[in-house]
Amino acid sequence: MKISADVISDLGRKAASFWVRYSRGFYTIVFFLVFGLGLSVWYRDVYHGDWTAEQKQQYALIAFRTTEFREADFDRAVRMTLLRAEYHKTEVSVDHDLFFPDTSKR
């Protein structure tokens, strides 16, 4: 069976016409499917995310170990912030005005 170029061209025209006519509906269906999937994953994680007491204890121990307070680094950051605040309180003096140069000094 031999397929002529006219049949292929006609099929292409029909396929393009079908796509133009129904693409919006296709994307709407895909959007709602993805939205529904995300909603179901969220619902499962929020309402059925049960941890055993042992898992909660293990998580608390790991979280406590990794969030130790480093006082020396904190004090250094506070000192740097205070130094910057003092620096920004000082008045800025412009020695050379780029836009309005003083011509009397020549």
> For the CA atoms of 71, 77, 81, 83, what is the dihedral angle to 10 degrees?
90
Tokens of 16: 């393009």
Q: How many Cα atoms occupy the beta-carbon half-sphere of 87 within 13 Å?
A: 6
Model-wide pTM > 0.75? no
Sign of torsion over alpha carbons 65, 71, 72, 77: positive
Q: What is the pLDDT of residues 4-46, one digit of tens each?
A: 666 678 888 899 899 999 999 999 999 999 999 999 999 998 8
> Do the beta carbons of residue 51 and residue 59 sit within 8 Å?
yes
Both tokens of 30, joined, read 């895909």
